[in-house]
Amino acid sequence: MTNMTSTLTILEPYPGIYAYYDGRVAGVRLYSQVSNWLDDGAYELGIASYAIVGGNEALVYDTHISLDHARAIRGHLEGLGVTTIRVVLSHWHKDHVAGNAAFADCEIIALNLTAERLEENREKIEAATPPIRPLVMPNRLFAETLTLTVGQRQVELHYFAIHSADGNVIWLPEERLLFAGDTLEDTVTYVSEADQTATHIAELARLRQWPIAKILPSHGDRERIASGGYGPDLIDANRRYIERLTHAISVGAPVGSLKDFVAEEISTGAIHYFQPYEAVHRSNVERVRAALGAR
């Protein structure tokens, strides 16, 4: 296996906003040749954690896929002169909390729901492959919205039940910039709670009403993130995918390959086709089919 951070790149899509991007590197596995959540999920699909920096302050959005990644983020920020770090968690899934221990002495902010999910799943998370042990818990909780300042920037945290019941996005109202976590993905969303697709669709419609200029997701194309992110048509693409998938399965229509299923959104440039998402699509089909009781 290679060094854990050997393919980590630091991007700066906007002044004082950093993306710590890793993955989507053909033929590279970081942890093991044996199937595991890190290599076969987050790393294969590509993942970014983010930091918003203002003066000597930084707000870190998710702690990445390993302690080594988290330490690299912290080291980069301290190299910029940052002395005060706060962490915000987008939701409870492993690839977003694996580096929490590197920020154990910092304020770690999360939704009440995220803390509940982490506590419920603590044993599984700590015993996962690779393990996240100890799982460091958030120490500042909120219910729906929270406003912070980082340097001169106003930063808002907002609850959206998309992808996971505990989705937490960051919104910079002056820049009209959304940090989406896993609420939005390129190529398509991973349907982790298939019995909640109606809620996810409604919440995506609510998100679409915001005056969003650009979107920085956790899972997306490296160059698109580096160049400033996605347009709001990423929201439409993710919503239409779930709508189309649930409808097709509910009426027993064939679904086919992801490339064909989202060909329209690929053609407009709203999303990029990335072949490993075919496996995500197949998983989504199975999960939605099971949730709808379809054959």
Please, which residues have CB within 8 angstroms of residue 284's CB and are 6 or more apart in sequence? Answer: 188, 189, 190, 191, 194, 245
Q: How confident is the model at residue 104 (pLDDT cuts 50, 70, 90)?
A: very high
- Asked whether the beta carbons of 151 and 162 are under 8 A apart, the reply is no
Question: Has residue 1 been placed in a domain?
Answer: no
- pTM of the predicted protein model: 0.97
Give me the CATH number covering residue 228. 3.60.15.10
**87 assigned to some structural domain:** yes
Return the closest-CA partner of residue 208 out of 145, 247, 164, 162. Answer: 162
pLDDT band with cut points at 50, 70 and 90 for residue 95: very high
2 found inside a domain: no
Range of the domain at 208: 9-292
pLDDT, position 294: 61
**219 lies in a domain?**
yes
Q: Is residue 14 part of a domain?
A: yes
Q: What are the tens digits of pLDDT across the range 51-79?
A: 999 999 999 999 999 999 999 999 999 99
**Roughly what angle, to the nearest 10 degrees, separates helices 233-250 and 197-208?**
150
Average pLDDT for 278-283: 96
Q: 72 vs 64, 90, 185, CA distance in Å? A: 10, 19, 24
CB 284 within 8 A of CB 188: yes
242 within domain boundaries: yes
Instruction: Read off the pLDDT of each residue in 165-189 and give the average, rounded to a whole number.
Output: 97
- The answer on pLDDT for 94 being more than 70 is yes
User: Which pLDDT score, from 0 to 100, does residue 2 have?
Assistant: 56
Range 269-295 average pLDDT:
92
CA atoms lying within 13 Å on the CB side of residue 285: 17
Confidence grade of residue 216 (pLDDT, cut at 50, 70, 90): very high
DSSP result, the chain:
---TTTT-EEEEEETTEEEEEE---TT--SS-SS--HIIIIIIHH-EEEEEEEETTEEEEE---SSHHHHHHHHHHHHHTT--EEEEE-S-S-HHHHTTGGGGTTSEEEEEHHHHHHHHHTHHHHHTSSS---S-PPPSEEESSEEEEEETTEEEEEEE--SSSTT-EEEEETTTTEEEEEEEEESS----S-GGGHHHHHHHHHHHHTS---EEEEEES-HHHHHTT-B-THHHHHHHHHHHHHHHHHHTT-----HHHHTHHHHHHTSS---TTHHHHHHHHHHHHHHHHT--
Structural domains of the chain, count = 1
Share of the chain above pLDDT 90, in %: 98
pLDDT score of 163 more than 90: yes
Range 151-170 average pLDDT: 97
Condensed to tens digits (0 to 9), the pLDDT of residues 11-38 reads 999 999 999 999 999 999 999 999 999 9
pLDDT at 3: 77
Mean pLDDT, to the nearest integer, of 86-98? Answer: 98
pLDDT at position 1 over 80: no
